[in-house]
Amino acid sequence: MGAQLLMLSMTFVDNMMVGRLGRDTLAGLAIAGGFYSFAQVIMIGVLGAVSPLASQAYGKESFERVGFIARQGFIFTLILSLILAIGLHWAEDLLLLMGQQTDLVPIAGNYLKAMIWAVPFQLSYTMLRQISEATGASMQSMTIGLLAAMLNIPLDYVLIYGKFGFPALGVAGAGYATAAVSALMCFTLVIHMTRHRHFHVLKIWQGGFRPHLPTLLDIVKVGIPLGSAVGAEMTFFVGSTFLMGTIGANELAAHQIALNAASIVFMIPLGLSFAISVRMGQFVGKGDMQAARTVWLAGLVIVTATQSVTALLFLLTPDFIIALYGQTADVALLGRDLLFIAALFQLFDGLQVVGMGALRGLKQGTYAFFAAFSAFWVGGAAVVWWFYVQSPPSPVGIWLGLLTGLLLAAIMHHGRILYISKASRESI
């Protein structure tokens, strides 16, 4: 959880510092962030196959198999990095085709071109982190995340505003700062996993990096449904950002504030979902399904407690949160309404991502995709579209659609786990 919070704290700092350059710059970053998050999270979702494969192998004490999966993961990461970099290169044209405001697209493009340099380091770090956490070693992820978060603040300040002789790069400066920090994180984790004796038994760096087609296909077989499930959720939220972009800059800026704040606290249940996925995968590898079920139930208790706290945070301190972004009174007024709805969907958001983590640990990726697609793109999208076509379109109504999608996803994810649990004493 700490590692996830620290990772997103960098995005939070980016938004705060860029927000002080003006409403349009923040709105442009909102579009860029939506586009990048959509592409990146799908790629990370596909890489999510590494976690259950590695954790189940570790549970079986097939340690060298874990190292082999890591080497194949590196090869797969290079392929995904190339695909994502090409997408970012053509991002401006794609954003214009999506109907985004022409004065905001160049701002978004400047950020996305800078982020091309971050792609291979972010994806490689993500893959190695999954290997590390699959073996029960998670503390270094938080330590490296803390180092990165502390370094990101001065880098943002220098590159965005042009300090100490550096040119003022504006929104692109935030992208270059993220790229530099991502490279540092990746190299630091590589050095740690090379030197620490905990990882020696895995023999990650031995045996060569030759592609092994069956293993790569196994990653694809598990990863594509998982990536598609994450993609169904991400496209739903990114789509809401693009819809806000067609309504107006004030609406988009308010949407970005509420979504960015919600994304930060979302890192708590997201981190928990990774832990649940790893633990359940380890117990499934050992054949201990009852212990895997206990992990799932414990996750439900923890996420209910954490999300209750974050809901209260949004309900009690909306003005403080909005003030961090330095926006106008019109943006702040709408931002308060959206933060109220964000408080309401905290529990559902936490439950659905924890359910996704449990399904990932059970390698139930295909069901997770169909459940996420139905929840977000059938139920949630219907509500979003209804409020969008009103005259004038309702930003608050669009957020009610987001709430609906999260509620349906939570029900469908945990309903599946409960059904499997009851259907067989040998399964969770």
pLDDT tens for 42-79 read: 777 777 778 778 887 887 878 888 888 888 888 888 88
Q: Is 26 within 8 Å of 253 (Cβ atoms)?
A: yes
Both structure tokens of 338 = 């959206």
**Which DSSP category does 377 fall into?**
I
Q: Which residue in the block uniquely carries the two structure tokens 């400066």?
A: 173
Question: pLDDT tens digits for 16-32?
Answer: 777 777 777 777 777 77
What pLDDT score was predicted for residue 306? 92
Cα distances from 176 to residues 116, 168, 312, in angstroms, run 9, 12, 35
Closest CA to 69 of 113, 150, 134: 134
Neighbours of 54 (CB within 10 A): 30
Q: In terms of pLDDT, which residue wins out, 421 or 179? A: 179
CA distance 276 to 294: 10
CA distance 54 to 51: 5
Q: Model's pTM, two decimal places?
A: 0.72
**Whether residue 405 has pLDDT greater than 90:** yes
Both structure tokens of 378 = 């059938």
Q: Look up residue 53 and give its amino acid.
A: L
**Whether residue 298 has pLDDT greater than 90:** yes
* Helices and strands (DSSP H and E) totals, the chain: 18, 0
What pLDDT score was predicted for residue 362? 81
Q: How far is CA 324 from the centre of its chain?
A: 22
- The model's confidence at residue 287, banded by pLDDT at 50, 70 and 90, is confident
Average pLDDT over residues 109-119: 86
Closest CA to 331 of 275, 408, 248, 407: 248
Q: Is 261 within 8 Å of 342 (Cβ atoms)?
A: yes
CA distance 104 to 85: 21
- The model's confidence at residue 326, banded by pLDDT at 50, 70 and 90, is low
What pLDDT score was predicted for residue 428? 47
Q: Please, what sign has the CA dihedral across residues 241, 415, 293, 66? A: negative
Q: How far is CA 67 from the centre of its chain?
A: 25
State residue 2 phi and psi, 5-degree precision: -65, -40
CA distance 235 to 377: 9
**Whether residue 107 has pLDDT greater than 70:** yes
**Whether residue 303 has pLDDT greater than 80:** yes
Average pLDDT over residues 139-150: 81
Q: Is 425 within 8 Å of 370 (Cβ atoms)?
A: no
**Whether residue 187 has pLDDT greater than 80:** yes
